[in-house]
Chains A and B, each alone.
Chain A
Amino acid sequence: MKKQLLLGDEAIALGALHAGLSGVYAYPGTPSTEITEFIQSSPLGRERGVHSRWCANEKTAMEAALGMSYAGKRALVCMKHVGMNVCADAFVNSAITGVNGGLVVLAADDPSMHSSQNEQDSRFYGKFALIPVFEPSNQQEAYDMMAKAFDLSEELKEPVLFRVVTRLAHSRAAVETGEAREENAMNASTDQWVLLPGIARRKYAALLDKQPRMEEAAASSIYNKVEKNGGKLGIIACGIGYNYVKEAMGNDGNVLKISQYPLPEKEIRMFAAENDSILVVEDGQPVVEQDVKGMLGAGYPIKGRLTGDLPRTGELNPDNVAAALGRETGPAFEVAKNLAGRPPQLCQGCGHRDVYGALVKIIEEYPDARVFGDIGCYTLGALPPFKALASCVDMGASITMAKGAADAGLRPAIAVIGDSTFTHSGMTGLLDAINENTPITVIISDNLTTGMTGGQDSAGTNKYEAICLGLGMDPAHLHVVTPLPKNIPDIAQLIRDEIAYEGVSVIIPRRECIQTAARHAREAKKK
């Protein structure tokens, strides 16, 4: 046994390595990024040759992991919650094919949207795909449960979802760790994973047949337990919700801690029978609250996010949970008077700044222009001093929304997308636009990295012109420029010229992210 301080993400990564992982497949996304980074820099991971290179997006990651599982080895897929939407097709169908080597899908949810565009709850995906979900309450459980998750996956021959939230992913605590077990040997499946209707029907029935065993596993899980300490209020505390309950109640209260799903119905009915009412404390959306209502019927009083006893939006915290339990906490000092918001900004010297320097001129000159944005550091172009963006929705939506708006007659329609986001989900949209020669101007702001998540490798570096030409771009309307303050007038003129062209244009402003450039300079100096 060794004790070390680990982020929740790091505990997950080490837990997976020690569980005999052979490959992690992921696209960077807050708050999940550090899992893959930990495996990339782990001596054990390197010694064993554990696959850990970044993937182009969450769908390619999910599918590659399924392939590794098919070959008999253990694979982990990591993503932020919205990545689940990107890989949903492969994810849901992996429950139909079933797995061979253990397959754990990790979704890091972001209630309160610290660094995200929504706060969707990945536990819905677990229910949707009809597979078990693990939801650790602390860093130690995150480490320990990873081996259990792989074991259950291999026992059931099904993928398992592992759900964490920002406050666990990005919080550090001491974790006791054990020995690393061996990886699985290569042992390719001989079963047909061909989801033709005839086979898929049989496999779907087999998945449904496994449901009682999944519920039984949750009922007997050491991570789901009842604490009886008096009173008639039953508290169902899910994941890290348990911590806030303990913070407020100490050793008081009747608590049913839930860290493994599907919900054990018999245990919940027994817990309800022993109490007069139930409070459901869960971080994210009211997934369990709705289910428990369904189990217990309208007559049984159930409180939670749906009843307003806990807030409907935002993350749980020690204050809102204490309030729901009738144990008020409160400030000793008022909110300060001399206080201003300090929003994040593009770094001084960042190339995206010079791209927006040109775009704000265009927006001034063309009042009808709309700039459709995308997801990355450059989304900050929506804020002052630029205020340049009309939209930012999901990875790749800049190009396709510009296309749809142009189809409707909007001119000029401009898309701004980063290099990594372009290879994640922008390329197919550009193909659509090229096939119709839609009059849009696409700016691929290439900083040679995945900047917002801390400078991970970008899948298409050095390939952007080739990709665009391969998709059928007219070379006359494909330009590469260097975004520097002195070049802003030239870039603005180029955008004007391409706006005048009634077809697809692509402009690639290319200059390395100043953060990764500084890091590379430091590394070079060391050598």
Chain B
Amino acid sequence: MKKDIILCGVGGQGILSIATIIGEAATKAGVNLKQAEVHGMSQRGGDVQSNLRLSTETIYSDLIPQGGCDLIISMEPMEALRYLPYLSKNGVVVTSNKPFVNIPNYPDQEALFAELNSLPNVVQLDIEEVAKDAGNARGANVVLLGMAAKYLDILSPEQLREAIATIFARKGEAVVEANLKCFDKGVEG
């Protein structure tokens, strides 16, 4: 069993924290993992992505082949579209529906959402709004992880909840609770 995931967004949106939580859960569950990150120049307001591969078998390549990605988890709708050549035929896209416009030539939003909605399996949510409603404006990325949880298969939502508790433990009980709330809101969709 394997699950190949592309995490993406704009530098600073917190995609690496999502990777850290999944990594913690995978390690605890004894699932193999490889996660390729991008550091350096592209952090600064540019597009960022991370290839995250989970498998019960040995994982060789750090990168996902084209057409092999089971799940795109994106903090930004246009960034979700950037990795379409990697998405498998039955792959799922889980994305924020709120454009992050920091470039002058951002595409026409109506056309962008029409293209996004034309994909067979898309789940979208205004994750920032949901996070705010949950009283944790900084937890949008954890809401997104909650939305993706039911498509992860190889790890259960409960295993992800435990990982959130472990990762945020050193920041105190209140931070753990706030993030679990965001996660649960994401799971509810």
Binding site for B on A (CB under 8 A): 3-5, 7, 30-31, 33-34, 114-115, 167-168, 170-174, 240, 242-244, 246-247, 317-319, 322, 329-347, 377, 380, 452-454
- Asked if B67 is at the interface (CB within 8 A of a chain A CB), the reply is yes
12 contacts between A and B (CB under 8 A): A30-B40, A30-B41, A31-B40, A33-B39, A174-B33, A240-B62, A318-B63, A318-B65, A332-B87, A335-B85, A344-B41, A452-B40
Q: Hey, which chain A residues are within 8 Å of B115, CB to CB? A: 336-338
Task: Determine whether the beta carbon of A243 is less than 8 Å from that of B33.
Answer: no
A162 vs chain B, min Cβ distance (A): 18
User: Of the candidates B27, B60, B84, B107, which one forms a contact with A340 in the assembled complex, judged by CB atoms under 8 Å apart?
Assistant: B107
Task: Name the prevailing secondary structure of the A interface residues.
Answer: loop
- Once the chains are docked, how many angstroms separate the CA of A400 from the CA of B12? 35
A387 vs chain B, min Cβ distance (A): 14
- Once the chains are docked, how many angstroms separate the CA of A336 from the CA of B47? 15
- Among B40-77, those with CB < 8 Å from A are 40-47, 59-68
User: Of the candidates B35, B85, B91, which one forms a contact with A334 in the assembled complex, judged by CB atoms under 8 Å apart?
Assistant: B85
Q: Hey, which chain A residues are within 8 Å of B169, CB to CB? A: none
Q: Hey, which chain A residues are within 8 Å of B40, CB to CB? A: 30-31, 114-115, 452-453
Assuming A30-B41, A243-B62, A339-B82, what are 9 further A-B pairs, CB within 8 angstroms? A170-B36, A171-B62, A172-B33, A322-B65, A329-B68, A333-B87, A338-B81, A340-B106, A342-B45
Given the known interface contacts A114-B40, A247-B61, A333-B119, the answer about A344 and B35 at a Cβ–Cβ threshold of 8 Å is no
A417 vs chain B, min Cβ distance (A): 17
B63 vs chain A, min Cβ distance (A): 5
Task: Determine whether the beta carbon of B46 is less than 8 Å from that of A342.
Answer: yes
Residue of B nearest to A318 (CB): B65
Binding site for A on B (CB under 8 A): 10-11, 19, 23-24, 27, 32-47, 59-68, 78-79, 81-82, 84-89, 91, 102-103, 105-108, 111-112, 115, 119
How many residue pairs between the two chains, A and B, have CB atoms under 8 Å in the bound complex? Answer: 154
A521 vs chain B, min Cβ distance (A): 16
- Once the chains are docked, how many angstroms separate the CA of A115 from the CA of B41? 6
- Once the chains are docked, how many angstroms separate the CA of A345 from the CA of B101? 13
Given the known interface contacts A172-B33, A244-B60, A343-B46, the answer about A31 and B39 at a Cβ–Cβ threshold of 8 Å is yes
- Once the chains are docked, how many angstroms separate the CA of A411 from the CA of B123? 58
- Once the chains are docked, how many angstroms separate the CA of A171 from the CA of B65? 16
Given the known interface contacts A114-B42, A167-B62, A246-B60, the answer about A336 and B23 at a Cβ–Cβ threshold of 8 Å is no
Residue of A nearest to B37 (CB): A170
Task: Determine whether the beta carbon of A339 is less than 8 Å from that of B81.
Answer: yes
Most buried by B among A3, A5, A244, A333: A333
Residue of B nearest to A336 (CB): B81
Q: Hey, which chain A residues are within 8 Å of B119, CB to CB? A: 333
Task: Determine whether the beta carbon of A345 is less than 8 Å from that of B102.
Answer: yes
* Closest 4 pairs (CB-CB, A-B): A115-B40, A30-B40, A344-B46, A336-B81
User: Of the candidates A170, A318, A346, A377, which one forms a contact with B39 in the assembled complex, judged by CB atoms under 8 Å apart?
Assistant: A170
